[in-house]
Amino acid sequence: MPYLANNTTDPSFETLVSDLSAALGPSSGLNSSDVNPIDIQLLMERYVSRIEEWGPYALEDANKTYTRNLIDEGNGKSNLVSRLTEPMDLYDILD
């Protein structure tokens, strides 16, 4: 699993997105037998949140209580989205 062998202690948001895509492969979802959910969790835990990296994905819609913004289309079985709620809190979730 080369994405976990990356010894970067402070990976960028771009690296996180890329590593999540690599972990899921070309056609697997979280419930696939070839995907270890712990690997996904480790990748997420390793990332240190920096607003300057994910801020461009935090697009608000004042007419809604929350807004979901697509970050990565994944492989057809997963999407990485940001969810912005009021007041401005951002949660990265894997859908």
Q: How much of the chain, in percent, has pLDDT values that exceed 70?
A: 80
- 66 pairs with which residues across the strands? 85
- Residue 9 φ then ψ, to 5°: -80, -15
Amino acid identity of 91?
Y
- 45-90 pLDDT per residue, tens: 999 989 899 888 888 888 888 888 899 988 888 888 888 876 655 5
Query: Where in the chain does DSSP place strands (E)?
Result: 66-72, 80-85, 89-94
21 contacts 29 by C-beta, under 8 angstroms? no
Tokens of 68: 């979901």
